[in-house]
Amino acid sequence: MAGAYNPFTMAQEQFDRIADLLDLDQPTRDLLRYPIREYHISIPIRMDDGTFKVFRGFRVQHNDALGPGKGGIRFHPQETIDTVRALATWMTWKCAVVDIPLGGSKGGVVCDPHNLSLREQEQICRGWVRQISKNVGPLSDVPAPDVMTNAQHMLWMLDEYETIQGVKQPGFITGKPVGMGGSLGRTEATGYGVIFTVREALKELGIHPADTTASLQGFGNVSQYAIELYQQILGKVVCVSCWDQNDGCSYSFRRSGGIDFKEIRGMTDRFGGIDKAKAKAAGYDVLPGEAWLEQDVDILIPAALENQITAENVVKIKPRVKIIAEGANGPTTPEADKILSGRGIFMIPDLLANAGGVTCSYFEQVQCNMNYFWDKDEVLGKLDSKMTAAFNAVSQLAKKRKLYMRDAAYVIAVSRVAQACKDRGWV
Ligand code: NAD
């Protein structure tokens, strides 16, 4: 990424701080600061108008000491190798913190699907696999959907991979449709995972969920399923926010008596945008985008975008807020994080809070590899066990070593990966 903000530099700085806390030796630092392997590919495509165009693509494998790489493939016009490197690094830590036997990878293609026909997108998917099929696979590196890629893209990629290999290997890729190797429960997994960790945090604080209220940023996949489960454990959501495509800005929707989840979902388009007029008619206050952060609630769940809680707006967080659960990736800037840590807010950091998605993708891969699929309750039950165990490990370490929850999560993740590298005799 151009300019001052380079996500890979940020990922390395984060790692350096944890490496200092763990007093890691130099060779381990040299290994974990960089991806272990990366592939840069060119994908020539014949466009619909008959001309040829070459797209640049990447696959970065940050570390596979704990198991096959796992990570999405992004289609984005501003994709850069440093973004992919950073995201691959974060995947290593996320898989390690929930203790699943997978490493960290990420891939991408520099393209804008909005300007490509479905046939052209299919060619890019198949071309990406053709260039890289020897270096990925169910036992080495398992891709998944990410920004602007979906279940259809995953099926095209799987089909190309199986054609090249000459065998059926649905465990090559996750995020497939249910019935074509996808897992039940994947849609709910990230949002439910957020609430499994919130439920455990409340237990630790000695607060009953029925006595709490929450406000969320975003009303998409993560946020909606987080709300569904939070309401099942009797929590009350008073505010949600979303992006308004027509107005080019975001709004918050508040009803102090509590939002009616089903009602508000009925006013929402497939991109997670809520209809303002319908919401007003149903008695919701339509407030500016940032109002979700300023509510007098116990729990805040940013579940939309990165860099949303900043040094400028962190002061607007009310004293009543006890827990922040990061549904989105990177919603809190490092400056704001310092202030929240100082205020003693119980932070459930992104790598832990939103790891339900990758955990369920791991379950998808396991089910595909044995060609036997679990029912939804079994998937969600296993997800609950994994998330609860991960939460407890992080929170116990935080207490024992008097660490901020984010640091404790990173310490667990980095030390697991570093130990695996050592045990294998790499460093
Ligand atoms: P989504 O596209 O389904 O929903 C995004 C929501 O955010 C929409 O309601 C949209 O209106 C809202 N939004 C966008 N810009 C906004 C703004 N400026 N202010 C307020 N709301 C805004 O996305 P999602 O799958 O729910 O993902 C949300 C976040 O969670 C992302 O950071 C994503 O990387 C992260 N995440 C998602 C998963 C997953 O499995 N879906 C897993 C891990 C992390």
pLDDT (tens digit, 0 to 9) for every residue of the chain, 427 residues total? 344 578 999 899 999 999 999 999 999 999 999 999 999 999 999 999 999 999 999 999 999 999 999 999 999 999 999 999 999 999 999 999 999 999 999 999 999 998 999 999 999 999 999 999 999 999 999 999 998 999 999 999 999 999 999 999 999 999 999 999 999 999 999 999 999 999 999 999 999 999 999 999 999 999 999 999 999 999 999 999 999 988 999 999 999 999 999 999 999 988 889 999 999 999 999 999 999 999 999 999 999 998 999 999 999 999 999 999 999 999 999 999 999 999 999 999 999 999 999 999 999 999 999 999 999 999 999 999 999 999 999 999 999 999 999 999 999 999 999 999 999 999 9
Question: Are the C-beta atoms of 53 and 87 separated by less than 8 Å?
Answer: no
Question: Are the C-beta atoms of 321 and 345 separated by less than 8 Å?
Answer: yes
CA of 303 from ligand 1 middle (Å) equals 5
CA of 222 from ligand 1 middle (Å) equals 7
**CA–CA gap between residue 194 and residue 98 (Å, rounded):** 13
CA of 243 from ligand 1 middle (Å) equals 10
329 within ligand 1 shell (Cβ under 6 A): yes
Q: Which of 196, 242, 265, 275 to mutate to test the pocket of ligand 1 (most atoms within 8 A of CB)?
A: 242
* 116 C-beta neighbours (distance < 10 Å), count: 19
User: Can 322 be counted among the known catalytic residues?
Assistant: no
pTM for the whole structure? 0.95
Two tokens, residue 286: 């339509």
Question: Are the C-beta atoms of 299 and 212 separated by less than 8 Å?
Answer: yes
Two tokens, residue 112: 């804008």
Two tokens, residue 115: 């300007």
Tens of pLDDT, residues 167-183: 999 999 999 999 999 99
Helix runs in 256-298, H state only: 261-265, 276-281
Question: Are the C-beta atoms of 240 and 223 separated by less than 8 Å?
Answer: yes
User: What integer pLDDT is reported at residue 357 of this predicted model?
Assistant: 96
Question: Are the C-beta atoms of 242 and 230 separated by less than 8 Å?
Answer: no
DSSP 311-378: TTTGGGS-TT--EEE--SSS-B-HHHHHHHHHHT-EEE-HHHHTTHHHHHHHHHHHHHHHT----HHH
